Amino acid sequence: MGLLRAVVAKGAFRTGDWAVYVPENALLPDDLVDELGLTGRLAGSRRNRVKAVRLRGELSQGIVCVSGRVADRDLAAAHDAGTDFSGELGITKWVPKAPLHMSGELVEAPDLLRWVEVENAKRHPDVFEQGEPVVATEKIHGTACLFTLLTGTGEEFVSSKNHGARRQGLAFAEDNLYWRSVVAHGVPEAARKVAERVGAARVGVFGSGVQDLGYGETGRSDHPGYAVFDISLDVDGTVTWSGGALHMREGLVVRPAHERYSAVLRGRAIAQFVSDDYLTRQGGTEYE
């Protein structure tokens, strides 16, 4: 997969030049869009969102630029210091608003087991060691569904990745997609069996519901598509998870054959390799 690649105009930079990198899913303020000559060329209803595109057949992920706001800064020193220019440039992260059936009343869930964000391997190419045995599983495009069982009290928490990161759960509601998924697929019962078998005080089940790429599921309201990808105690091609080549593959999730700590990620050693075709597809959904 290599490193992240961003296509720039010929002659804009020379080898050794320093620049600012604006990643995918960044929202740019209007004045910065104008300054960089990107008016009308970005994604989103306001044409201000950075998205992966193909330029003359080459995948381009993000924008490489030097804004006048930071032109007088020592970018080499800023890089060494890990400086984030997003605040100075007015850049924010794009988080799509979840539809009604994926939202709901929030409750505090301090004991919720959060899903660890899986970083893109292009951003952290040294996360795995040379020759290290790894395990690669197909990455499913879906909205992460977090379920936590507290065996001591019997409490059950359901949340999305976005709300779960803030230790918030979704109050039970029959029309909520996350709750419908875990109930329809017997996730609470499975979690209790796991807890009994290993004597765990807390069990987290991490699953995924289908978004714009289907995996052979009918999407019935009473039985939404759902797949478990974890329990806590060349990437391009067609999908294999559903047993048929129904559509493009999102990518792979790779982890060491023996779980370990990563000094690069400062946490669990795990990364994702995302397909170029998936990144440049049209009309996709990215709910968290």
> What does the domain layout of the chain look like in residue ranges?
20-93, 100-279
Lowest mean pLDDT among 77-81, 99-103, 170-174: 99-103
C-alpha closest to that of 26 among 44, 8, 5: 44
> Widest CA span of the chain, in angstroms?
64
pTM above 0.75, yes or no: no
How confident is residue 288, by pLDDT bands cut at 50, 70 and 90? low
Residues 6+ apart with CB under 8 A from 268: 116, 255, 259, 261, 262
Residue 234 in this model has a pLDDT that exceeds 50: no
Give domain 100-279's CATH architecture. 2-Layer Sandwich (3.30)
CB-facing half-sphere around the CA of 21: CA atoms within 13 A: 17
Could you give the CA distance from residue 220 to residue 160 in angstroms, rounded to a whole number? 20
Lowest mean pLDDT among 102-106, 119-123, 130-134, 214-218: 214-218
The two three-digit tokens of residue 145, written as one number: 């569904």
Q: 239 or 189: which carries more pLDDT confidence?
A: 189
Could you give the CA distance from residue 78 to residue 243 in angstroms, rounded to a whole number? 48
**What is the average per-residue pLDDT within 61-69?**
93
What are residue 63's DSSP bridge partners?
A: 22
- What is the reported pLDDT for 201? 85
**Quick one: what percent of the chain has pLDDT higher than 90?**
47
